[in-house]
Amino acid sequence: MSASPSRLKTRSYPPVELAPGAEGRPSPGSPPGLWLRIFLPFAAGYYLSYLLRTVNAVLAPELTRELGLSATHLGLLTSAYFLAFGACQLPLGLALDRYGARRVEAALLLFAAAGALLFAVGDSLGLLIVGRALIGLGVSACLMGALKCLFEWFPPERHASLTGAIMASGGLGALSASVPLTWLLPAIGWRGVFIAAAAFTLLVIAALWTVPERSVPRASEPLGQQLRAVAGIFRTAVFWRFGLQMGVVAGATMALQGLWAVPWLMTVNGYSRTVAADHLFLMSTAMLAGFLGVAAFATPLARRGMKPVYLLGGGIALVLVASLAILFDLGDTRLTWLLLGFGASTGNLAYAQLSAHFPPQLSGRVSTAINLLAFAGAFSLQWGFGALVDALLAAGWASAAAYRASFTVLLVLEAVAFVWFVAGDRIIRKT
């Protein structure tokens, strides 16, 4: 019999001590600029994570030409980031709850620096896959660590806005990996991009060690008990309500933004890479605007009855509408990709919404559990999209038709996830 969220809430976890400062806020006597000391290093980390996640979309023509990659190989290479990222999410949750965000994220980013350097010097598909996987492993704590730290320092009513603020830093990373990257490529080349990323990673590690630690209890129960708590999370209906949309909708968005958007626009719409990168820039700009909007308005809207879960559902619906327009070439392509990015920007509200159903001591494990589904979905859909394109091309399909068929599969999966998200609320109410 599945455990309900309410049963998990009443288990014998000790209450979190929120001193100093009332309601989990920093105390009035805290040094000036404490907010920036907490936020900026984690924001820099997530900026780096998102930049490295999406950079291959613009680099795809160079990688394909220099290494002779097929669509399947390109999808596998790029999605190795998601595979390594997703594989470490559950142990990451245990580590965050036991050791805290600062230590865990700083240690993992050393792997990201090594991976970026390996990618920069690699001359074979195998080496590049290993480098890409190390990058994914290394940045795997950049969002989860930020949320863990911010959720410890600030009260629950501010969590949706804080999520939007940290996501905005990721939006800046995605923005940097579009048009600005095309300007930089002629000067330093794609290998130089990864050397610069490795250097920036080391700076982020140094900045993280300046972050003050929150005086809260850390998970200290035996490993078996910790793992049983993780299993309990996966058994709840509320987890799967948010988890399925993260795995499919957020996963499909990452697959497109991180790789297939530019090849789609070049193959199906016949645009040059520069014009395709302009579309990716608009998509990333819209996502950034959405993140900033969530950061600024989620809390005031919630006080007026517009719950964050409604924003999440509305965003998924907008993603579906925009995807239909892209598939059938309806309207201006710049507008449709912009709407896709704006709708996708609400997806990460799922972290705060799901965490509210569980005890604070489980926050790291809850967030990494749902993140596991998001990145497992991104890996499967990004690689699967390329594999399906190659299979259809081998069967004699035209390139544009093969891309449209693969995009159709993504859209159908997203529609199913949206139906479950809407229906899941009624199912949860009955449990």
CATH number at residue 126: 1.20.1250.20
CA dihedral 318, 55, 293, 246 (to 10 degrees): 50
Cβ-in-10-Å burial (0-12, 13-18, 19+) of 417 comes to buried
Tell me, yes or no, whether 83 lies in a domain: yes
Of 107, 110, 99, nearest to 214 (Cα)?
A: 99
Quote the tokens at residue 185. Answer: 């490529």
**DSSP assignment letter at 212:** P
Of 182, 207, 205, 141, nearest to 54 (Cα)?
A: 182
- The pLDDT score that the predictor gives to residue 96 is 87
Tell me, yes or no, whether 140 lies in a domain: yes
Tell me, yes or no, whether 299 lies in a domain: yes
Tell me, yes or no, whether 3 lies in a domain: no
Q: How many domains does the chain have?
A: 1
Phi-psi region for residue 148, left (φ > 0), alpha (ψ -120 to 50) or beta?
Answer: alpha
Enclosing domain of residue 368: 32-213+226-430
Q: Is the dihedral of CA 397, 400, 406, 409 positive or negative?
A: negative
Q: What is the mean pLDDT of the chain?
A: 84
Question: Which CA distances in Å does 287 have to 172, 282, 347, 365?
Answer: 9, 9, 10, 26
- The pLDDT score that the predictor gives to residue 292 is 85
| CA atoms of 393 and 390, how far apart (whole Å) | 5
422 contacts 313 by C-beta, under 8 angstroms: yes
Residues counted in the chain = 431
- The pLDDT score that the predictor gives to residue 405 is 97
| CA atoms of 136 and 258, how far apart (whole Å) | 13
- The pLDDT score that the predictor gives to residue 165 is 83
- The pLDDT score that the predictor gives to residue 337 is 97
- The pLDDT score that the predictor gives to residue 428 is 57
Tell me, yes or no, whether 7 lies in a domain: no
- The pLDDT score that the predictor gives to residue 399 is 95
- The pLDDT score that the predictor gives to residue 8 is 41
340 contacts 253 by C-beta, under 8 angstroms: yes
Cβ-in-10-Å burial (0-12, 13-18, 19+) of 349 comes to buried
Tell me, yes or no, whether 8 lies in a domain: no
Question: Which CA distances in Å does 215 have to 19, 27, 30, 149, 150?
Answer: 7, 12, 14, 11, 13
| CA atoms of 77 and 131, how far apart (whole Å) | 9
- The pLDDT score that the predictor gives to residue 429 is 57
246 contacts 351 by C-beta, under 8 angstroms: no
- The pLDDT score that the predictor gives to residue 105 is 96
24 contacts 155 by C-beta, under 8 angstroms: yes
Within 10 A of 171 (CB to CB), how many other CB atoms are there?
A: 24
Taking 50 as the pLDDT cut, the residues of the chain under it are 1-32, 431
Whether the ω angle into residue 32 lies within 30 degrees of 0, i.e. cis, is no
Tell me, yes or no, whether 5 lies in a domain: no
- The pLDDT score that the predictor gives to residue 219 is 56
Tell me, yes or no, whether 242 lies in a domain: yes
